[in-house]
Structure 1
C-alpha cells in the first residue's frame, strides 16, 4: 500500500477542521452571539460618545472656572480681613486697655468727690451774684 499524496492528506485535515468548526458553531453559535452582544452592551454602557464627552468636559470647564473665581474672591476677602486685623489690638493689649480703664474709673470717682466742694462753692457764688444783681 502506498501512502496518499501529501496534498490529499492536507485537504482531508482541512475538511475535518471545517466540519468540526461547523458543528461547534451549530451547537454554541447562539450562545456566542448572545455573549458577544452582552459584551458590546457592557462596553457601550462603560464608554460615552464623543459629543457626550465634549459636553461633559465643557460643563466641567464652566464649573471649574466658577470655582476658580470663587476661590479668588475668597482669597481677596481673606487678605482684606487680615489687613484689618493687623491694625486691631491683640489679647494682651485689650487686657492692658481694660486695666487702664478700670484705673481711670477709680480716679474719676476720686475727682468726683474732690469736685463736690467746688460745686457747692460755685452754687453759693452764683446765688450771691444773683442777689447782688437784684439790688
Structure 2
C-alpha cells in the first residue's frame, strides 16, 4: 500500500470518528434537559416532603388534643348523669316551693308588724 491509500483510510476513519462524536453529542443533548428536569422534580419532591411533615405534626397535635375528650360510651355516661342531675334539680325545686311560701308569709308578717 502506498501513502495515498493510507491517507484515504485515515481520513475515512477520522470522518467516522467525527460523525460518531456528533451522534454522541446529539444523543446526550437530551440528558442535560433530563438532568434539569430531575433537579426541578427533586426540588418539588423536597417541598412536598416538607409539607407532608408539617401535616403530620399538625395531625399529631390534633390527636393529642382529641385524646382527652370522651368517646361515645363516655359521652353517653355524661349524658345519663346530666339527666339524673336534671331530675334531682327538678325534685329540689318542687321541695323548695313550700320553703319559698313560708319565706313570703314571714316577710308579709314582718311588714305588717312594722306598720
Q: Same fold (TM over 0.5)?
A: yes
| Map 1:62-101 → 2, pairs under 5 A | 62-101=43-82
Q: Which moved more, 1:50-59 or 1:85-94?
A: 50-59
* Alignment TM-score, normalising by the size of structure 1: 0.59
Query: Aligned residue for 1:122?
Result: 103
Paired residues in the alignment total 91
How far does the alpha carbon of each residue in 1:76-121 deviate from its partner, in whole angstroms, 9 at most, with x for none?
0111011111111121111111111111111111111101101111
In 2, Cα distance between equivalents of 1:130 and 1:62: 88
Task: Give 5+ residue unaligned stretches, structure 1.
Answer: 1-39
In 2, Cα distance between equivalents of 1:48 and 1:113: 93
| Map 1:1-80 → 2, pairs under 5 A | 49-80=30-61
In 2, Cα distance between equivalents of 1:55 and 1:132: 103
Q: CA RMSD in A?
A: 2.1
Distance 1:48 1:118, change over 3 A: farther
Task: Give 5+ residue unaligned stretches, structure 2.
Answer: 1-22
* Runs of 4 or more above 6 Å deviation: none
User: Which is higher, the Rg of structure 1 or of structure 2?
Assistant: 1
Query: Aligned residue for 1:131?
Result: 112
SS at structure 1 position matched to 2:91 = helix
In 1, Cα distance between equivalents of 2:71 and 2:29: 58
Residue 60 of structure 1: how far off its partner (Å): 0.4
